Amino acid sequence: MPRFGMVIDTRKCVGCTDCVVACQTENDVPHGYCRDWIRTELAGEFPRLSFEIRSERCNHCDNPPCVSCCPTGASHVEDFGKVVLVTANKCIGCKACVSSCPYDARFVHPDGYVDKCTFCYHRTKDGKDPACVSVCPTHCMHFGDLDDPKSKVSELLRTRRHHTLLPEAGTGPRVFYLT
């Protein structure tokens, strides 16, 4: 079974938000909401400054707190791809998962259930890339099986410096940022 992950090259990302628009179109995300977003981070003191642009989303963590706190099992890890998904007709809208996510990656859909990035599971389970990855004009985003040493994502993680978001939260995020 594959273990899907995403690798994003922050040296190539220009923050154009194409990935955000592609996701909203592909997944019919309601107006005013977003499953992925662009965050820019400026750190340091002038003139020693660093600047990073990141396309962020649910990290499909290896140790997802949103799954363990769900009282109905609506929030779950799919066997194929180890993707974290929400089954809408099992979700009661208690919002425990929303509170438990350190990345604030979830939101309450206007229809009442909790929604978030699915790694475009309807596409990726058939071997396609997620919509955000497929439209990226700078080709800064890569998607694949982290457990396959020959995959592009594994190769990039072997050869490039990278980091994840809030690793201290202990969630084991699977979206990696190349620096």
Partner 1 sequence: MLELTTTRHNPLIDPALAVWSWEIPVYLFLGGLVAGMMVLAGIAMLRIARGDDPKAFFSLHTPLLGFVLINLGMGALFLDLTHKLYVWRVYLTFQPGSPMSWGSWVLIVVYGVLLASALIRLPDAWPWAGRRLPVLQSWSDAMVARPGLVRTLAWANILLGVGLGIYTGILLNTMVARPLWNSAILGPLFLFSGLSAGAAMVHLAAVVRGERPAPQGMVGGALAAMCQPLGTALPEKRTVDSLIRADVAFLAIELVLIGLLLVNLYTSSASHAAAATLIVSGAYAWAFWGVIVGLGILVPLALQGLELKYFIPHTVVPALLVLVGGFVLRWVMVNAGQASHVVQAAGG
Kindly state the tokens that stand for 24: 């909203």
Chain residues 123-162 in contact with partner 1, contact rule CB under 8 A? none
Residues 33, 137, 147, 172: which binds partner 1 (CB under 8 A)? Answer: 33
Residue 170 touches partner 1, criterion: CB under 8 A = yes
Element (H, E) at 68: helix 65-68
Surface-to-core class of residue 16, CB atoms within 10 Å of its CB (0-12 exposed, 13-18 middle, 19+ buried):
middle
CB nearer partner 1, residue 114 or residue 151: 114
**CA dist., res. 158 & res. 160, Å (int):** 6
Long-range CB pairs of 130-134 (<8 Å, 24+ gap) are 130/6, 130/23, 131/19, 131/22, 131/23, 131/25, 131/26, 131/27, 132/18, 132/19, 132/20, 132/22, 132/23, 132/36, 132/55, 132/57, 133/6, 133/19, 134/22
User: Least separation, in Å, of the C-beta of 150 and partner 1?
Assistant: 30
How many residues belong to the site for partner 1 (CB under 8 A)? 55
27/151 with CB nearer partner 1: 27
Q: Which of 50, 79, 158, 161 binds partner 1 (CB under 8 A)?
A: 50
Residues 78-117: x where in contact with partner 1 by CB under 8 A, - otherwise, as a string: ----------xxxxxxxxx-xxxxxxx-xxx--xxx----
Q: How far is the CB of 141 from partner 1 (least distance, A)?
A: 16
Candidate residues 39, 122, 128, 152; the one interacting with partner 1 per rule CB under 8 A: 39
Q: Is 121 helix (H, G, I), strand (E, B) or coil?
A: helix
178 makes contact with partner 1 (CB under 8 A): no
Tokens of 163: 């980091």
Tokens (6 digits) for 61: 């963590």
Q: Which residues bind partner 1 (CB under 8 A)?
A: 17, 20, 32-34, 37-45, 50, 56, 65, 67-74, 88-96, 98-104, 106-108, 111-113, 163, 165-171
